[in-house]
Amino acid sequence: MLDHSSITPVIPRKIGLVTAISIVVANMIGAGIFTTTGLISANLPGPGWVFFCWIFGGLLAIAGALCYSELATRIPEEGGEYVYLKKLFHPSLGFLTGWTSFFVGFSAPIAASALGFSEYFFEGANLEEAMMDTGNFLLYKKMLAVVIILVFVSIHYMGIKVGSVVQNGLTILKILIILGLAFLGWIIGTGNTDHFFVGNIESSTGFAFGTAMMFVMFSYSGWNASSYIAGELKNPRKTLPISLVMGTVIVIVLYLAINLFIFYALPYPELKGNIAVVEIAATRAFGNWIGNVFGLLVSVALLSSLSAYIIIGPRVYYAMACDRLFFPFASKIHSRFGVPGRSILIQGGIAIFMVSFSSLEQLLIYIEFALGIFPLFAVAGIYLARKRGIGEESAFRVWGYPYIPVFFIACSLFLLVVAYMNRPLESTAAVITILAGIPLYYLVVKLNRRLKK
């Protein structure tokens, strides 16, 4: 078995429980909760089904978090799935998860966040009605999404100091918006509890349920965030499982709260297919002026996720390139700004390409299908890790073993199969993206062998 890992300095364990929980929450709350409820509603017959999906998705995320807690405490290193798959299965699987992240884990979410920003900005600024007659409505939205990607690529290209200030401010704003909408909507907003009992006349199929769950799981993606920094956590055996589970529970509560507000403010049939549902619900609950303000605030909050992806992605590629498992350009650090500048630019270019030729709905299916494959392998790796006795002394042992891992693997596999049958185009694109990395891996290995000679 080949191992191209390089020797790296040991990073001090300075991250505590509160920070670890914050990292999980910040990574999970992104474009998904602001953009997917309308898409989910288009696939399901009523509000009860939507809430079931959010609760079921949360339980699945908690199951995954418990499984990753064991993996991360057995292998307490940075890198998450990249490290687990490389060590438990084969370096090629580790390479594939990094390769997939290049397109699906970061570039595609950047594009999705930019498109979500554009949707909310047009709604909040009342530009949709003004430009509806021009015939170029969709083009203008995509152009704005491209511009915002270019702006943030430029910000983060100029160094982490400026980027960190922007990132922290946007994350705080995002959390305040969710809390404000969820609670003020019930206290002073206009709505009707009868909306919870009215659905669509059309019935939905199991395929539609699978597609709805893909949108839900996209919104929950990030439940494994603190496992990527396991090597920097204080007392990871205790801190890591608590941070993963508590962070996920907090997000579940916030997601249910914001959906309660949406369904309280709007009749179910009006949600169908709408992306900017939070702005529409805020307008109905508080009036046009306040609703438009909330729409603009949500559009700005979506930039938090976009900004985070632009920061994190190039660092993953950099680590893989240092292991000689990625393109050499990714290991280049800008001499002045101290960032992986080439990776930032190329990642931004791929995101712009995706914005130009995809819709938000297509991107969400593409992202979640591809990202849903590797956690299956990682969770299955628990059985291998126990069999080989890896990290027995430091390991947190997942509760309910072996049933919790089986629940996660079976449910995730079922959702992937159903989603593929219902949305074959986006799912096939995700599979092709992953498979394209296989010949590339062996090409990288061959080149490395030549360099060593």
Average pLDDT of the segment spanning 371-378:
88
Specify the pLDDT at position 380. 93
Residue located via tokens 């059985």: 383
- More confident site: 384 or 279: 384
Specify the pLDDT at position 19. 67
Label residue 2 by pLDDT band (50, 70, 90). very low
- The dihedrals phi and psi of 4, each to the nearest 5 degrees, come to -100, 15
Whether pLDDT at 298 is above 90:
no
Q: Residue 322's CB: how many other CB atoms inside 10 A?
A: 15
Whether pLDDT at 11 is above 50:
no
Whether pLDDT at 411 is above 80:
yes
Q: Residue 379's CB: how many other CB atoms inside 10 A?
A: 25
16-62 per-position pLDDT tens digit: 677 677 767 777 777 778 878 888 888 788 888 888 999 999 999 98
Specify the pLDDT at position 10. 44
Label residue 6 by pLDDT band (50, 70, 90). very low
Considering the chain, what percentage of its residues have pLDDT values greater than 70? 83
Whether pLDDT at 7 is above 60:
no
Q: What is the mean pLDDT of the chain?
A: 79
| Residue 379: HSE in the Cβ half-sphere, 13 Å Cα cutoff | 28
DSSP state of 15: B
Omega before residue 402 within 30° of 0, cis: yes
Whether pLDDT at 204 is above 60:
no
| CA–CA distances in Å: residue 231 to residues 141, 296, 386 | 41, 39, 20
DSSP state of 44: S
Terminal Cα distance for the chain, rounded: 18
256-272 per-position pLDDT tens digit: 888 888 888 888 888 87
Label residue 372 by pLDDT band (50, 70, 90). confident
pTM: 0.77
Whether pLDDT at 167 is above 70:
no
Label residue 218 by pLDDT band (50, 70, 90). confident
- More confident site: 232 or 170: 170
Specify the pLDDT at position 257. 86
Rg (CA), the chain: 22
| CA–CA distances in Å: residue 273 to residues 30, 133, 150, 318 | 19, 21, 28, 38
SS3 210: helix
Q: Residue 236's CB: how many other CB atoms inside 10 A?
A: 24
Whether pLDDT at 291 is above 70:
yes
| CA–CA distances in Å: residue 303 to residues 89, 110, 121, 175, 232 | 36, 9, 11, 13, 27
Alpha helices in 188-287 (DSSP H): 206-220, 236-265, 277-286
84-113 per-position pLDDT tens digit: 888 899 888 888 887 887 778 788 888 888
Residue located via tokens 């956690």: 375
Specify the pLDDT at position 8. 40
| CA–CA distances in Å: residue 449 to residues 302, 328, 421 | 44, 15, 41
Nearest to 256 by CA among 41, 439, 63, 58: 58
Domains detected in the chain: 17-447 (1.20.1740.10)
Range of lowest pLDDT (56-60, 76-80, 199-203, 276-280): 199-203
Nearest to 142 by CA among 364, 293, 359: 359
Range of lowest pLDDT (10-19, 162-171, 284-293): 10-19
115-164 per-position pLDDT tens digit: 888 887 887 777 666 555 555 777 888 888 899 999 888 887 776 566 55
| Residue 49 one-letter amino acid | W
Label residue 301 by pLDDT band (50, 70, 90). confident
CA dihedral of residues 55, 57, 62, 63 (deg, nearest 10): 120
